[in-house]
């Protein structure tokens, strides 16, 4: 995904990964990494681009559904497996029904990568679940 929205719930929490920090620290926060789809989803850097949403709760589903208005596709990255999704039943149904939303279960984002100016991609890693 060329951009990522981190849906961490009611209080924004930043991902503690390389590349997600502020621009002063060499990261892509506010330059492709965001915590608010409502605030940033309509910005040109997100329009008609694949966008990733990190999280598995209602906030992530709401953000993903909102982003379908702007993004070419939305990939929801969830650390847990599908059966452990925390989102409410109705929010899961809405997200699963959207043709623009894809899910990547049992994965986590490990790095945000860019060209020095804007985020270009994210690196994800599969998690082993026992």
Q: Hey, which residues are catalytic here? A: 36, 39-40
Tokens of 94: 């809405």
Tokens of 30: 């506010």
Task: Give the distance from CA 27 to its chain's centroid.
Answer: 16
Distance CA 94, CA 61 (A): 8
Are the C-beta atoms of residues 18 and 111 closer than 8 Å to each other?
Answer: yes
Residue 124: φ, ψ to 5°: -115, 155
Tokens of 76: 């929801």
Distance CA 54, CA 51 (A): 10
Distance CA 68, CA 47 (A): 10
């Amino acid at each position: 995904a060329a951009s990522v929205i981190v849906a961490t719930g009611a209080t924004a929490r930043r991902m503690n990964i390389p590349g997600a920090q502020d621009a002063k620290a060499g990261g892509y926060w506010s330059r492709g990494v965001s915590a608010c789809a409502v605030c940033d989803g309509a910005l040109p850097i997100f329009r008609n681009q694949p966008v990733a949403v990190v999280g598995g709760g209602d906030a992530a589903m709401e953000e993903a559904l909102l982003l379908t208005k702007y993004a070419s596709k939305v990939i929801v990255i969830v650390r847990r497996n599908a059966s452990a999704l925390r989102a409410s039943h109705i929010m899961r149904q809405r997200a699963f029904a959207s043709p623009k939303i894809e899910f990547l279960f049992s994965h986590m984002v490990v790095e945000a990568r860019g060209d020095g100016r804007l985020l270009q991609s994210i690196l994800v890693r599969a998690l082993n679940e026992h």
